[in-house]
Structure 1
Amino acid sequence: MVKWTEEERCVVRAVWEKIDIDEIGPQILTRVLIVYPWTERYFGTFGDIFTTTAILNNPKVAAHGKTVLKALDEGVKNMDKLKETYAALSEFHYENLNVDPDNFRLLADSITITFACKLKSTMSPQVQATWQKFLSAVVEAMNSQYK
């Protein structure tokens, strides 16, 4: 279990408050699919996602990116019980989707980069360190149901 200082909680909430899920969500999954093209195998029902243009214009990619950030919102609200918060989602990804758990780390990296591009001057090294601590805890929680 991760221990959070009050300052860390404030930093995570401050970063999160600046994020528009409808704007940033699509950018995150788009980045994952372009930077890590082998991840497309998990999105077979999304249709054409084989070129950058197709990914950028795919409404299912955009919608799922928003879904990812809505799930992340639950983590921000439940920082002290991330494992419990993500248990069902972790199990679903393991049992039903057979997602390689390393992909959660790739997604977390894409979230950090996308947020940093958006927040520019407010994403100091200290803020990034706290945000990455949070995302590492989320990744650990998403890996918790993998056997």
Structure 2
Amino acid sequence: MLTAEDKKLIAQAWEKVKAHKDAGAESLERMFMSYPQTKTYFPHFDLHAGSEQVRNHGKKVLNALDSAVKNMDNLSQCLSELSNLHAYNLRVDPVNFKLLSQCLQVVMAVHLGKDYTPEVHAAFDKFLSAVAAVLAEKYR
């Protein structure tokens, strides 16, 4: 459960993160490098660093997270369509949501530097775990 302080920290940090337009692509690239098995869901993509397809998908990831940040109190409804897409059409292994969350946190730490405090990290960890759980709830 996110506390009021968690929500405040998430909203503040997110404003800084989304200013880095390629943070989503950087997170995906890191995931593909660290967890090569995740590439199997993107056989039609050019997965090289800086590819336009990865950049575009990274923007989609950031847009979805931006919506989730704005709707922290109603993640299930906010992410329902995305959950359906991943569960029923794309059939993505839900473990990948957690892997991408970890990679996003590394990217956040790089870009935010000293502003990525242990408190921000803990709040984002709870938030991204909640997002991953919502995205995976259609699999049950």
**TM-score (norm: length of structure 1):** 0.90
3-state SS in 2 of match to 1:144: helix
Work out which of the two has the higher radius of gyration on C-alpha atoms and give 1 or 2.
1
Q: Which amino acid aligns with 1:82?
A: L
Match of 1:39 in 2: 38
Contact 1:91-1:145 at 8 Å conserved across structures: yes
Correspondent of 1:125 among 102, 118, 125: 118
Return the alpha-carbon distance in structure 2 between the equivalents of residues 58 and 127 of structure 1. 30
**TM-score (norm: length of structure 2):** 0.94
Runs of 4+ off more than 4 Å: none
Q: Residues 5-58 of structure 1, C-alpha deviation per residue, up to 9 Å, x if partnerless?
A: 2211110001101012523121111111111111111011114x3xxxxx2131
Contact 1:27-1:114 at 8 Å conserved across structures: yes
Correspondent of 1:97 among 78, 90, 95: 90
Match of 1:10 in 2: 8
Correspondent of 2:58 among 65, 68, 74: 65
Number of residue-to-residue matches in the alignment: 139
RMSD, aligned α-carbons: 1.2
Contact 1:12-1:131 at 8 Å conserved across structures: yes
Match of 2:22 in 1: 23
Using CA pairs under 8 Å that are at least 6 residues apart, name the structure with larger relative contact order, 1 or 2. Answer: 2
Question: Structure 1's 21 and 88: CA in aligned 2 closer, same or farther, altered over 3 A?
Answer: farther
Q: Which amino acid aligns with 1:92?
A: L
Q: Which range is displaced more, 4-13 or 69-78?
A: 4-13
Match of 1:87 in 2: 80
Question: Structure 1's 22 and 8: CA in aligned 2 closer, same or farther, altered over 3 A?
Answer: same
Return the alpha-carbon distance in structure 2 between the equivalents of residues 109 and 59 of structure 1. 23
Gaps of 5+ in 1: 50-54
Q: Which amino acid aligns with 2:117?
A: S
Return the alpha-carbon distance in structure 2 between the equivalents of residues 75 and 21 of structure 1. 17
Contact 1:12-1:130 at 8 Å conserved across structures: yes
